[in-house]
Amino acid sequence: MAETYTGTGPIPKPTPETKPFWEAAKRHQLVIQRCNDCRQHYFYPRPLCPHCLSRNVEWTQVSGRGRLHTFVINHRPPRNFPVPAPFIIGIVELDEGPRLMSNIVGVAADPNAVRCDMPVEVVFEDVTDEISLPKFRPLTA
Ligand SMILES: [Zn+2]
């Protein structure tokens, strides 16, 4: 499921809070946190459940499937971020609930080809020996 990385943008630097996320991404698994008290998933990574403030939380693998909540097609990458344009920046709502921002790949960066609510699945781009980026592509099957 790996795709060739074509960008030359900044590489994420894992922090103590995000390290499990990036370690799993390297294994091409999408993990987010879930609260053991109220059982809700959440993202971005943090040591406290945003729903009930419990610290009894754990990392758990999720399906990697969701829907495209919203998106923008960027025709002009920021300076010092020379990725091929146009590209799609999307907010994906995972089947488990939380939303995360990523790139939408495997579809033309064309408003006629991308639509809100389209089903998507995660795909990983290997960037360095340590970092793989979770991105999302239209779910075909
Ligand atoms: Zn909770």
CA of 49 to the centre of ligand 1 (A): 5
Q: For residue 71, what are the contacts with CB-CB under 8 A and spacing of at least 6? A: 88, 89, 90, 91, 104, 114, 116
For 26-34, what is the mean pLDDT? Answer: 98
- pLDDT, average across residues 68-81: 89
Distance 78 CA to ligand 1 centre (A): 37
The residue-averaged pLDDT of 96-102 equals 97
Residues 6 or more apart from 106 whose CB is under 8 A from it?
3, 123, 137, 138
pLDDT at position 51 over 90: yes
User: How much is the mean pLDDT over the chain?
Assistant: 92
> What is the 41 CA–ligand 1 centroid distance (Å)?
8
Q: What is the mean pLDDT of residues 97-122?
A: 97
Distance 62 CA to ligand 1 centre (A): 17
Identify the pLDDT of residue 1.
43
Position 140 pLDDT exceeds 90:
no
